[in-house]
Chains A and B, each alone.
Chain A
């Protein structure tokens, strides 16, 4: 049973557009929600993360929006660039499991020139 559900499976966006990826979770004990970016042939790399005490976190062109009551969080990539083309994974964990992450299925983002 997948504990974190991610959508869409794939996404095509034009350069300069906004990419939006959504995730939903069931376990209310989760208290850490990171996003990872993965390029072909590489391992996933931490992109940005949020804790449930805030509703939004922004780092450069990347923003996480968090809705605790709906148990949903999303990644927004503003001004998308071809270099952002990658697979993005959302994840969740709880502090007492010391970071054992449950991952979503991933979203392949393609940014066209």
Chain B
């Protein structure tokens, strides 16, 4: 596609439920990143995929968070047993070089 596509754009879920967030990167981009942006805050790195290498999971805040990337393309970020502090905008980005990402518009997650 022309850009990075994320779905859903908005998600409201009850505390304790699991959610899945989807990212479709730009075709041909080998690197894919997930970031979290809390209200009025900067961007917090979560996880990074590069080609067929093992993902860099160093930013995942707890074992309730996981992500996978299938076929080197689409990625899904899963949050299990959601908590209110998980409420944030989850941003996905992809890249074809070590320098500069293209971000999607994000998924706004609200846990009630």
Of chain A, the residue at the smallest CB distance from B33 is A100
Interface residue B93 (Cβ < 8 Å from any Cβ of A): yes
- C-beta contact mask, B85-107 vs A, less than 8 Å → 1, else 0? 00000010101011111111110
Q: Chain B interface: which size bin?
A: 20 to 34
Interface residue B67 (Cβ < 8 Å from any Cβ of A): no
Interface residue B4 (Cβ < 8 Å from any Cβ of A): yes
Interface residue A66 (Cβ < 8 Å from any Cβ of B): no
> Which listed residue, A44, A95, A98, A102, touches B45 by the CB 8 Å rule?
A102
> Which listed residue, B40, B98, B100, touches A46 by the CB 8 Å rule?
B100
Q: Is the CB of B95 within 8 A of A99?
A: yes
Contacts of B1 in A (CB 8 A): none
Interface residue B42 (Cβ < 8 Å from any Cβ of A): yes
Give me the interface of A with B, judged by CB distance under 8 Å: 2, 6, 32, 34, 36, 41-46, 49, 89, 93, 95, 98-106
